[in-house]
Amino acid sequence: MSAETPAPDITVRELQQLIRDRYHATDSARGVPGTFMWLIEEVGELATSLHENAPDQSPTPEQQANLSEEFADVLAWLTTLANVAGVDLAAALTKYTDPDRVKGVKP
């Protein structure tokens, strides 16, 4: 996608189904522990990418592209882990849409 053309929106449910359709056989064979390790590896890559962008400077186009890719990888692996663990992410996220359930912010 170019900077001028926004990416199409996808719901959490659609993303979870897309990941399930493409990868579930391999993911379920790997199991929760192995999938969790892949997620943590991607979180580490995101941390490195964030660290490489100095807080007082705007990221270069290449750095921004890398950040976007790493965020996408973390989201995909989290979704994969949810599939393997049998968690419906869309349902789980209602925790944040119910005003009586979540109050305040963490310091």
For domain 33-96, the question of CATH label 3.30.70.1400 is answered with no
Where are the chain's structural domains?
A: 33-96
Task: Tell me the pLDDT tens digit for each residue of 28-71.
Answer: 999 999 999 999 999 999 999 998 876 677 888 998 999 999 99
Judge whether residue 2 has pLDDT over 60: no
Residues in the chain, how many? 107
> What is this structure's pTM?
0.84
Task: Give the model's pLDDT for residue 41.
Answer: 98
